[in-house]
Amino acid sequence: MTCVVVVGAQWGDEGKGKVVDLCTERASLVARYAGGPNAGHTLVVGGEKTIVRLIPSGVLRPDSRCVLGQGMVIDPAVLVDEIDGLTRRGVERVQERLLLSERAHLILPYHVLVDGLREARASAIGTTKKGIGPAYEDKARRLGVRAADLRHPKRLRDLVSTAIAAWTPVLLALGGEVPSVEAILETLAPLGDRLTPLLGDASRAVHDAIQAGEPVLLEGAQGTLLDIDHGTYPFVTSSSAVAGGAATGLGIGPTRIDHVLGIAKAYLTRVGGGPFPTELSDATGEHLRTVGHEFGSVTGRPRRTGWLDLPALRYAARVNGLDSLALTKLDVLSGLSEVALCVGYELNGARTKELPVDELDSAKPVLERFAGWQEPLEHARSISELPRAARAYLDRVAEFVDVPITVIGVGPGREASIVLADPFA
């Protein structure tokens, strides 16, 4: 097994970072394929916490190479900042081990401005305000600036001028100011000097590593239900977060992927607006938020919390082709007298077990209730060390979703995991 995709099976924040971290022990190349600085992994380097938004967490392994694929949108200032931050904290050869796709699109100041101004309006969907949507809009309407353009000052000037001209009526209508081309180019020049040595062909890098039989990890960002095509539109991000996005976002064929590992929390969270049938606004929801530290790592926003939605997870298993599932944060459920799983919905007077992805706001969850457990789970390293009630809960999840659970997270540390199978084995 050489090429594994790790994909979020919910609305993001599934604890991918920890599982990716476990897997990068084996991977010599880690590549991200979608999204931008809307993602965030908290890494602990030399006892200090640091948040990376663009660079895959594999960078902490001194020998691993990291690729930022063409499916991503890159904010040059954020990337340079991350490189410097990691270097300052003693991570070696960050710059040398990083490859930035020449074809990745850039997030420029006008994208961030538009995102922020739109979010101040009533029609806001609760984005991270990092300029993600507007940057992908420019890509789709063929007004984008790509990383390779940083090498060509004249072309860069023309592209930025054209894009600003296109955004001007939007910025003015939103009550914003139009940034000057000169100011943007001036800021970009030193960033371009830093980033152009990193430019390369991401597709070839990933292809060559796979051909050489190296273990390769393709790291998803956000989650299935935030995918632009398969998520709960319009409350979604603007990229292909699903496993298929790894093929298009990196430029490899789907035949190169050997295994798709889905990550889901043992409960469910969401940040931003949009339907969430199993949301809990009571003391149990507060328990999940407090015990699970459910606050956004990019925006600090409190996350909405609720019961695990099994039809949604089974939908994620289908659209991603999940081979195995990692269920994280099972320990957060300890201490509840009762736990529940959503096994269907009541919708338009009927019951369904399928996720009504476009009618989720009118779906009422059908819950199956289980006895809870009081024991802390942090020290469990095998299934047999889990309380009987927790095992019954896991069995029901695996049975409903019809995907084997191969990793169970029982605490924040990397070692606090029950690993039943290695996706690289």
Site for ligand IMP contains 328 (CB under 6 A): no
Q: Which is nearer to ligand IMP, 360 or 380 (CB)?
A: 360
Question: Comparing C-alpha atoms, which of 168, 207, 161 is closest to residue 67?
Answer: 207
**Burial category of 396 from C-beta neighbours within 10 Å (exposed 0-12, middle 13-18, buried 19 and up):** middle
Q: Does 324 bind ligand IMP (CB under 6 A)?
A: no
Nearest distance from C-beta of residue 414 to ligand IMP, angstroms = 20
Binding mask 29-68 for ligand IMP (x = CB under 6 A): ---------xx-----------------------------
| Contact assessment for residue 293 and residue 374, using Cβ atoms and an 8 Å cutoff | no
Residue nearest to ligand IMP (CB): 272
Q: Applying CB under 6 A, does 10 fall inside the site for ligand IMP?
A: no
Rank residues 13 and 138 by Cβ distance to ligand IMP and give the closer one.
Answer: 13
Closest CA to 225 of 263, 257, 266: 263
- Tell me if 314 contacts ligand IMP by CB under 6 A: no
**41 annotated active-site:** yes
Establish if 224 lies at the interface with ligand IMP (CB under 6 A).
Answer: no
Beta carbon nearer to ligand IMP, 133 or 411? 133
Nearest Cα to Cα of residue 63 among 245, 249, 214: 214
For the bound state, the minimum distance from the C-beta of residue 212 to ligand IMP, rounded and expressed in Å, comes to 31
Site string for ligand IMP, 88-127 (x = CB under 6 A): -------------------------------------xxx
Give the x-and-dash track for 164-203 against ligand IMP (CB under 6 A).
----------------------------------------
Nearest approach in angstroms of CB 109 to ligand IMP is 16
Asked whether position 16 contacts ligand IMP by CB under 6 A, the answer is no
Query: Exactly one of 97, 103, 105, 130 binds ligand IMP (CB under 6 A); which one?
Result: 130
Report, in Å, the least distance between residue 13 CB and ligand IMP.
5
CB atoms within 10 A of CB 71: 28
Nearer to ligand IMP, 132 or 322 (CB): 132
* Binder among 70, 222, 324, 406 for ligand IMP (CB under 6 A): 222
Binding residues for ligand IMP restricted to 236-295, rule: CB under 6 A: 237-238, 271-272
Pick the piece of the chain touching ligand IMP (CB under 6 A) from 6-14, 193-201, 253-261, 410-418.
6-14
The C-alpha atoms of residue 329 and residue 13 are separated, in whole angstroms, by 11
| Residue window 343-382: x/- pattern of binding to ligand IMP, with contact defined by CB under 6 A | ----------------------------------------
Nearest to 248 by CA among 257, 235, 237: 257
207 is catalytic: no
The first and second tokens of residue 389, run together, are: 């009630």
Catalytic machinery residues: 13, 41
Binding site residues, ligand IMP, CB under 6 A: 11-13, 38-39, 125-128, 130, 132-133, 221-222, 226, 235, 237-238, 271-272
